[in-house]
Copies of this chain bind each other. A is one copy, B any other.
Amino acid sequence: MVAAAEGPQSIAPFFNPKSVAVIGASSKQKKIGYVIAKNFIESFQGKLFLVNPTVQEILSHKCYPSISSVPDDVDLAVIAVPAKSVAEVLKECGEKGVRAVVIISSGFRESSEDGAKMEEELLNLARKYRLRMMGPNCMGVFDSTTMVDTLFIPRYRLKRAPRGKIAFISQSGASGIAFLDWAAGERIGISKFASYGNATDVDEADLLDFLATDKETKVIAMYLEGIKEGRKFARIAREVTKEKPVIVLKTGATEAGAKAALSHTGSLSGTDEIFNAVVKQTGMIRVSDWEEMFDIARALAYQPAARGNRVAVITNGGGAGVMIADEMEKQGIKLVELGEKTVARLKEKFPPHVTLRNPMDLGGDADNERFREAISAVIDDEAVDSLLLVCIPHTPSIDLESFVDMVVDTKGKNEKPVVVCLPGGRVSLEVRELFEENGIPTYPTPARAALSLSALVKYGKLKNSDQAIKN
């Protein structure tokens, strides 16, 4: 299929429109058209036009009987009317010169053959009028800067995530919501979100292409069940990963999953081997769960990519050090020998039971000062590219608040990424939050910390090889 209008900038009006029309805005609180209208009224800074032929106003906002009767230009129209009326409305949008439409309505290809025919008609209209169309059957867009918010879940049920550097695009609406809610709960910043539903016009590749140019976005995360156009996707993904890391959660990996995906979004998910080949070739990072996706996205959003694969581990719990060594090796990353100077510098200062190897076990009696000496020496060590810190926070010798300050002070030093493992479930949540607020990605288990640091190493490797090609 050829898109109705080409180029990543044709996607911009979805996220950054000067004026928005909500077609199918409703005054009934339970209606999707009410929730969307309310979102825009509450937060959108641009011009807003509500369209509904049967009411005069909604939440004290004037209603227009049709998009044609709106007295101004409209960049983005959000369509939430019954399936059978969508084509007519879309035609009107075309006549009006609307540049982008989000079609929330469902009842198309995902429902029936008749629906598929109606969907084909929508695509023809979009092409004819050279407008871009997201959906149908989607949640649409959330932009934490412009506050475009077509999510039809009320904000009291789905808190919106704070502003941040991670963009997320999702084929599945429900997975998209779960992701957003997680981000809101964990206070992880999101730049842009899009759930693009049936991908009739705008698909995952278009969004990726656009997000590569977006200044608010440092990391792109995607949830996919299938890919519409494999070659286009691979070509664009290869280009995008040169600019920013792309994390992909692709389901339908197994036979059972592929069957389930077919009945869920009608996606032909293809074989997993092919997709893994695409992942490798494009330099994307594949994950198998939301938790992994968040863990890695946070690391890539907060920290620089590692310049090389030489990882050092400092811990006050030997067991955690062993787990991290295991996990790193599984990821194909070896723990390096520390530089001679580092060992000599620390040997002088530390008691004999401290293990001056890698992982460096500072001992259960390590205090902040011992950590500070070790971190400082390792960050100065030219044989080391990145640092994973494990702090078992329960020993009385650790003062947690100043520990956070001390680690935050290392941020960006020698451009070496730092990741922290702070075990202890909910009890450690507050301290983990302090770290996160200051840009230090922090994890409750050694495996999750190791996986996240390994993503910084792998993305660094990709960047370096791209750099080498450029020079």
Contact = CB atoms under 8 A, between A and B. Distances in A.
Interface of A: 30, 111, 153-154, 157-159, 170-175, 177-178, 181-186, 223, 225, 251-257, 259-261, 263-265, 288-291, 316-323, 325-330, 334-335, 353, 355, 357, 359, 361, 364, 392, 394-396, 423-429, 444-448
A290 B153 CA distance: 35
Contacts of A448: 289, 291
Contact of A174 (B184, B254, B319): B319
Nearest to A358: B260
10 contacts: A178-B317, A178-B423, A182-B424, A182-B427, A184-B425, A184-B427, A185-B424, A254-B325, A264-B318, A289-B445
Contacts of A265: 318
Contacts of A445: 289-291
A291 B394 contact: no
Contacts of A225: 319, 322
Give the oligomeric copy count.
2
A232 B9 CA distance: 68
B326 A253 contact: yes
A366 B96 CA distance: 37
Contacts of A256: 325-326, 328-329, 334-335
B361 A181 contact: no
Contacts of A335: 256, 260
A157 B394 contact: yes
A181 B317 contact: no
B181 A263 contact: no
B174 A264 contact: no
B322 A290 contact: no
A444 B291 contact: yes
A263 B361 contact: yes
Given A181-B423, A225-B322, A256-B335, A316 B174 contact: yes
Contacts of A171: 319
